[in-house]
Structure 1
Amino acid sequence: MTLPTVAQQQAVQRRTVAVLSAGQVLGGIAFGATVSLGALLAADISGDDALSGLATASVTLGAALCAIPLARLAMKLGRRRALTLGNLFALIGIGIVILAAALRVFPLLLVGIILIGAGNAGNLQSRFAATDLASSRHRGRDLSIVVWATTVGGVAGPLLLGPGEVVGQAIGMPPQTGSYLFSLVAQVAAFILYLVALRPDPLLLAQRIIAAGADQNPLEERRDHPVVARYAMFAIAASHVVMASVMAMTPIHLAHMAHGAHGGHATSADISSLVGITIAMHVAGMYALSPLFGILADRWGRLRVVLLGQVLLGGALLFAILTSDQAWGVMAALILLGLGWSASTVSGAALLTEATTPALRTRRQGRSDSLMSFSAAGGAVLAGIILSYFQYPGLAVAASVLVVAIVVASPLGRMRTE
């Protein structure tokens, strides 16, 4: 089969980034809704705030369990098959969550959230799919554009809580599940988009070019840097734990604040509004400026932007410690938390890709996503316990240990010149 010219490869890359970005818009709606509602549903159905962290733990566990299998599937059959399978998992998970809320069965709720997390493993893989045909000069930029696209769905998900409740009540859905109706429609659309439009498959095309030893190979052959790759995986995972653990407990903390502000009688609408706006701002911080961080990673270097992310995460934790009793302070902390996560994960993913030879990239990318999600699942469970005993500021202090560790270990992330 004739290989595409350089111009044709660039055209395929542009089309791939556009399709992946559109898919992220749709997939982000379910992610945003689960982030906002998962902890509240878990606390409501279980009757114990300490178990609320299991919601975020479950969504990250689902992503962790499926990251490596989806990466292996992508290596054999391409990104398109892996991404559509992830969408299918998410669709099934949304249906189970709605059923669990209707039956008020806590274990069933966690099963549904785990499957939504499995779908999120596909969403995470999309950012690496954007690098399959990318040149080194634009790898960070292309990756970050796909990450940025999640902003629309991720912000829309929390903001659809109110309208979702209205629609849900009108058609008889269980309380606090109405916005999942929008998620269901979005996931179906994403499934069809990937199935129809992600052609040619970027990873399969890149594998053909590498196997042919073509001069126009977009994936420059470089010496492998396993130490740098391991640091990149650690920085991505630890930054994700910091973000996920604090974010997971914020809805519960805000619910307590709302009850305090209303003399212990805050309505469900009061809580949903406060949580929805705060999480929407957080998700905007996670994704809205990712192209900027991608460009900075291409120009300044990957490691410098990883460290910039730690500065932003440290600022977020400082706000959480000092202004935990103020709604504006919690919102500022969540915005900075999102920005720090964005800088760290975009530059970390680019660093991991650049430090790894093409033959090992997909495998390491899957391991990185799995490590990131497993770590965040454990962090979310511990966050619920820490919140119960040490409150919100104590949780921020505990999370700061990981920020310090990433900074201290940063010399391991320096790419040696060849």
Structure 2
Amino acid sequence: MATGFQPLERRNVVLLGLGQAFYGTGTTILFTLNGLVGHMLADDKSLATLPVTAVMVGAALSTLPASLVHKHLGRRPAFVLGALAGVAGGIGYGLGILWGSFWLFVAAALVTGWYYANAQFYRFAAAEATGTEHRARAISLVMAGGVAAALAGPELVKFTKDMVLGLPFVGAYVVVILLGLASMVLLSGLRLPDLAPEERHASGRPLIEILRQPRMIAALATGIAAYASMSLVMTATPIAMVACSLTVEDAAFVIQWHSLAMFLPSFFTGRLIERLGVTRVIGAGLALILGCSAVALSGVSLEQFWVALVLIGLGWNFAFVGATSLVTTCYTPAERAKTQAANDLLVFGVVSMASFMSGVVLNWTGWHGVPIAALPLALIALCALPLAARGTKAPTPVPAVPPHACCCGGGCGHAD
């Protein structure tokens, strides 16, 4: 899987990829079911997607405090605490259904946001733990852990949604709890490099100066467009499919292929970036997102939902992996924590709004309004993409392993 890496680099990439698989399986279950459960529990059906939105809101609110935990405690403890939040959220989901409480269900989604926010640092941790020449490949391979999630998540929904008699979907949320527990055990085995001294004690350039770099603007525009358009379409899809007389199993099938399209290309996206350049790969991703809107507007058959969701999944992968690669060139070690936090705060802030608006647009206009709403996002990112070629990289490259660290697996710079 992780060819071209040193042994310790390979270990970390594999463990982070498995962590992505467990996290991704849980979130696939959530994004498949939360809207449906919200529709079942909510009196006001326009709030049906709020339990999906709440995950994104929780992630956005958690980004800055999570980055501080990563900075002061280290990656490994922060990742374990993040998985613990996934366990707590799974318990809250089950109790929300058991007690018929829509707002408890929403609160559980907010708690899950801490897990979601911490999992976004998996890709950055992989980039930091490998050499510069393999950074894009490490990011894409970690995200390839989502392939297992794409295969397992929808199947688990099918097999567990009626497991507890009289309590629809509770069985699936029990699986979410178990996945969080498994992640806690797995991520405790990471051996990541210590923070560089300048990262602990220096602050680097002002954040506004970092964010104003043309390259950073292009990265933010791309990351926001890719994630927000995907969330807008994906959140509404299960509800729209059931409303169009398709089944929950049909919706799970489409979400499964969508998730595969999101993560399967990760096995080669990094190599594509190395060979073709990041702007070409991002451009291809944004074009695929526009293609999704075209197909989604053409009809509401199972096949049309399937093609549209596969296209936006592929587009998300190319654009988001590319955006992440761009972000890692925009900061020094001292600027790492605040830049990553600001990036994810802005991305998930917009994604939260897109997720909520998905339900509102669907309720007001029907399915066809959803892909129309996604169009401006991709078009704006395409306009910003030429900025990626302007400006220079950060003054000092982010080292994969600080000079004082070793690769012995513990004690000498690999404490967390």
- So what's the TM-score if we normalise by structure 1? 0.86
Using the alignment, how far apart are the partners of 1:210 and 1:178 within structure 2?
Answer: 44
Residue of structure 2 aligned with 1:229, choices 207, 216, 230: 216
Q: CA deviation at 1:208?
A: 5.7
Using the alignment, how far apart are the partners of 1:351 and 1:345 within structure 2?
Answer: 10
Instruction: Describe how 1:76-225 pairs up with structure 2 within 5 A.
Output: 76-169=72-165, 174-195=167-188, 197-199=189-191, 201-202=192-193, 204=194, 207=196
Q: CA deviation at 1:362?
A: 2.5
Using the alignment, how far apart are the partners of 2:60 and 2:137 within structure 1?
Answer: 26
Residue of structure 2 aligned with 1:276, choices 252, 257, 280: 252
Q: 1:412 to 1:310 in 2, by over 3 A?
A: same
Contact 2:227 2:347 in 1 (8 A): yes
Contact 2:215 2:390 in 1 (8 A): yes
Asked whether 1:49 is paired with 2:45, we answer yes
Amino acid paired to 1:63: A
Amino acid paired to 1:311: A
Q: CA deviation at 1:416?
A: 4.0
Asked whether 1:362 is paired with 2:337, we answer yes
Residues 313-372 of structure 1 show CA distances to partners (whole Å, capped at 9, x for unaligned) of 01111111112x211001110011111111111010011101222221232112211211
Residue of structure 2 aligned with 1:406, choices 381, 392, 404: 381
Q: CA deviation at 1:46?
A: 0.4
Asked whether 1:249 is paired with 2:236, we answer yes
Residues 296-321 of structure 1 show CA distances to partners (whole Å, capped at 9, x for unaligned) of 11222222211111011011111111
Contact 2:199 2:336 in 1 (8 A): no
Using the alignment, how far apart are the partners of 1:342 and 1:410 within structure 2?
Answer: 16
Using the alignment, how far apart are the partners of 1:208 and 1:150 within structure 2?
Answer: 33
Contact 1:38 1:56 in 2 (8 A): yes
Residues 90-142 of structure 1 show CA distances to partners (whole Å, capped at 9, x for unaligned) of 11011001000111111111010111222111211101110112222211110
- So what's the TM-score if we normalise by structure 2? 0.87
Q: 1:363 to 1:209 in 2, by over 3 A?
A: closer
Q: Which residue of 1 aligns with 2:264?
A: 288
The unaligned stretches of length 5 or more in structure 1 are 1-8, 212-222, 260-270
Using the alignment, how far apart are the partners of 1:208 and 1:194 within structure 2?
Answer: 24
Contact 1:31 1:154 in 2 (8 A): no
Q: Which residue of 2 aligns with 1:298?
A: 274
Q: Which structure has more helix as a fraction of its residues?
A: 1
Instruction: Describe how 1:65-84 pairs up with structure 2 within 5 A.
Output: 65-84=61-80
Q: Which residue of 1 aligns with 2:396?
A: none
Q: CA deviation at 1:250?
A: 0.4
Using the alignment, how far apart are the partners of 1:398 and 1:24 within structure 2?
Answer: 29
Q: CA deviation at 1:234?
A: 2.3
Q: Which residue of 2 aligns with 1:348?
A: 323
Q: Which residue of 1 aligns with 2:405?
A: none
Using the alignment, how far apart are the partners of 1:346 and 1:305 within structure 2?
Answer: 9
Q: What secondary structure, in the 3-state scheme, does the structure 1 residue paired with 2:20 have? A: helix
Contact 2:88 2:177 in 1 (8 A): no
Q: Which residue of 2 aligns with 1:5?
A: none
Deviates more, 1:28-37 or 1:129-138: 129-138
Using the alignment, how far apart are the partners of 1:165 and 1:286 within structure 2?
Answer: 24
Q: What secondary structure, in the 3-state scheme, does the structure 2 residue paired with 1:392 have? A: coil
Q: CA deviation at 1:417?
A: 5.9
Using the alignment, how far apart are the partners of 1:226 and 1:133 within structure 2?
Answer: 25
Residues 118-176 of structure 1 show CA distances to partners (whole Å, capped at 9, x for unaligned) of 2111211101110112222211110000001122124312221121134333xx7x211
The unaligned stretches of length 5 or more in structure 2 are 201-208, 394-416
Amino acid paired to 1:62: G
Q: 1:384 to 1:166 in 2, by over 3 A?
A: closer
Q: Which residue of 2 aligns with 1:313?
A: 289
Query: What is the aligned-residue identity percentage?
Result: 27
Using the alignment, how far apart are the partners of 2:315 and 2:141 within structure 1?
Answer: 17
Using the alignment, how far apart are the partners of 2:274 and 2:198 within structure 1?
Answer: 24
Contact 1:157 1:179 in 2 (8 A): no
Using the alignment, how far apart are the partners of 1:390 and 1:413 within structure 2?
Answer: 36
Q: CA deviation at 1:415?
A: 4.5
